Amino acid sequence: MLVPVTDIARPRRSARPTMKDVAARAGVGLKTVSRVVNGEPGVTADTERRVRDAITALGFRRNDSARVLRKGTTASVGLVLEDLADPFYAPLNRAVEEVARAHGALLVNGSSAEDPDRERELALALCARRVDGLIVVPTGDDHRYLAPEMAAGIATVFVDRPAGRLDADAVLSDSFGGARDGVAHLVAHGHRRIGYIGDRPHIHTAAERERGYRAAMAAAGLPVPAAWVSAGPTDPDRVRAETERLLAGPEPVTALFTGNNRVTVTVLRLLAARPRPVALVGFDDLELADLLSPGVTVVAQDAARLGRTAAELLFGRLAGADGPARRVELPTRLIVRGSGERPPAD
């Protein structure tokens, strides 16, 4: 058996040894190396040892890119969220990672930065990488761009907010019910003039929370003058100005319901500098909320559970579960700590 010339004068192709190199060194065939690396049966102990020695000697590591190309599955899932740095999403991120890990998959993720174009760009980049599945915290309100990808086999689950103009799985918190319960809690403590400060209503969760606020007020027979409702961007400047506005005038509100953690923090900072106590219930829990005085009463979402549920739904789809798009709604929890139990000041 002649050694081909190319084998003798082979130029140094890459620093990285391949299975072919391992096979040559071990004096076996390429496929046998593949078998050893993948733990497939049908290799004698002696051959296996020779291959393993060669692997160690060369420092070989299987190139998963080639594997992916051949097998057609990447064992990875993509996660697109609003902001990797937002503490609310950190447990969600981790929960998705845990589930992915349990299924032997890696996690590729990125932030949309609340920019629909960037969300789209990122999601499609992940599709081009052929992630097996995609979990998206949507920012935009039109996700039809994902329809071809889903049709081509990329399982997709939306989390925290539903997809726009697309029939897809979604895992959400019960924003409506949570907000309604939070506001009802303030009503139960004697408040009749309650303000709402939340995000722009084109964001699904924001709209739901505002709806919950209105429902609780209506259920208590309380009027809701337009001036008490502030739905807009949640940058600190606007939130501060709106809070001042709601607390000014002859008939100021005696309690506030804040629509997310960013708003709550801004309002807390402002209230700390004011003499007159104002009752407050916020949507989303805060680290250290229990250590403030009074503690901050909140409607808490379970972000980790959101992530876990979405990931399990995703892997269920990957395992073959079909059927119509599912919408899962997780309950929220009212955590009573003091700020929501203050009586009306007037």
Partner DNA sequence: CCCGGGCTTGACAACGTTGTCCAGGCTCTA
Partner DNA sequence: TAGAGCCTGGACAACGTTGTCAAGCCCGGG
Q: Is 16 a residue that touches DNA (CB under 7 A)?
A: yes
The token pair at 4 is 């081909």
Which one, of 67, 65, 47, 66, lies nearest residue 55 by Cα? 47
Looking at the Cβ atoms of 70 and 322, the one nearer to DNA is: 70
Q: Are 314 and 103 in contact (CB under 8 A)?
A: no
Q: Identify the DSSP state of 253.
A: -
Looking at the Cβ atoms of 66 and 84, the one nearer to DNA is: 66
Looking at the Cβ atoms of 246 and 296, the one nearer to its own copies is: 296
* Burial of 44 per CB tally in 10 Å (0-12, 13-18, 19+): exposed
Name the one residue in this structure whose structure tokens are 């980049």. 125
Q: Are 284 and 298 in contact (CB under 8 A)?
A: yes
Looking at the Cβ atoms of 37 and 90, the one nearer to DNA is: 37
If contact means CB under 5 to 8 A according to the sort of partner, which of DNA, its own copies, none does residue 334 touch? none
Q: Is 293 a residue that touches DNA (CB under 7 A)?
A: no
Which DSSP string corresponds to 154-177? -EEEEESSPPSSS--EEEEE-HHH
Query: Minimum distance between the CB of residue 71 and DNA, rounded to whole angstroms?
Result: 5
Looking at the Cβ atoms of 149 and 181, the one nearer to its own copies is: 149
Q: Is 229 a residue that touches DNA (CB under 7 A)?
A: no
Residues from 127 through 166 that contact its own copies (CB under 8 A): 127-130, 148-149, 151-153
**Binder among 7, 237, 287, 346 for its own copies (CB under 8 A):** 287
Q: Is 67 a residue that touches DNA (CB under 7 A)?
A: yes
If contact means CB under 5 to 8 A according to the sort of partner, which of DNA, its own copies, none does residue 262 touch? none
Q: Is 124 a residue that touches DNA (CB under 7 A)?
A: no
* Burial of 66 per CB tally in 10 Å (0-12, 13-18, 19+): exposed
Q: Is 305 a residue that touches its own copies (CB under 8 A)?
A: no
| Measured CA angle at 251 (ends 250, 253), to 5 deg | 135
If contact means CB under 5 to 8 A according to the sort of partner, which of DNA, its own copies, none does residue 44 touch? DNA
Coil, strand, or helix at residue 81?
A: strand
Cα 88 → chain centroid: 9
* H runs (alpha helix) in the chain: 5-8, 19-26, 30-37, 45-58, 64-71, 89-102, 116-128, 147-151, 175-188, 204-219, 236-247, 261-272, 303-318
Of 61-69, 133-141, 143-151, 293-301, the window that binds DNA (rule: CB under 7 A) is 61-69
> What is the distance between the alpha carbons of residues 251 and 346, in angstroms, rounded to a whole number?
9
Residues from 195 through 254 that contact its own copies (CB under 8 A): none
Which one, of 19, 23, 20, 21, lies nearest residue 47 by Cα? 23
Looking at the Cβ atoms of 114 and 251, the one nearer to its own copies is: 114
If contact means CB under 5 to 8 A according to the sort of partner, which of its own copies, DNA, none does residue 268 touch? its own copies
Query: Minimum distance between the CB of residue 60 and DNA, rounded to whole angstroms?
Result: 7
The token pair at 291 is 């250590």
Coil, strand, or helix at residue 321?
A: coil
Q: Is 93 a residue that touches its own copies (CB under 8 A)?
A: yes
Q: Is 73 a residue that touches DNA (CB under 7 A)?
A: no
**Binder among 3, 5, 39, 42 for DNA (CB under 7 A):** 42
**Binder among 55, 107, 137, 166 for its own copies (CB under 8 A):** 107
Site residues (vs DNA, CB under 7 A)? 13-14, 16, 18-20, 23, 27-32, 34-35, 37-38, 41-44, 46-47, 60, 62-63, 66-67, 69-72
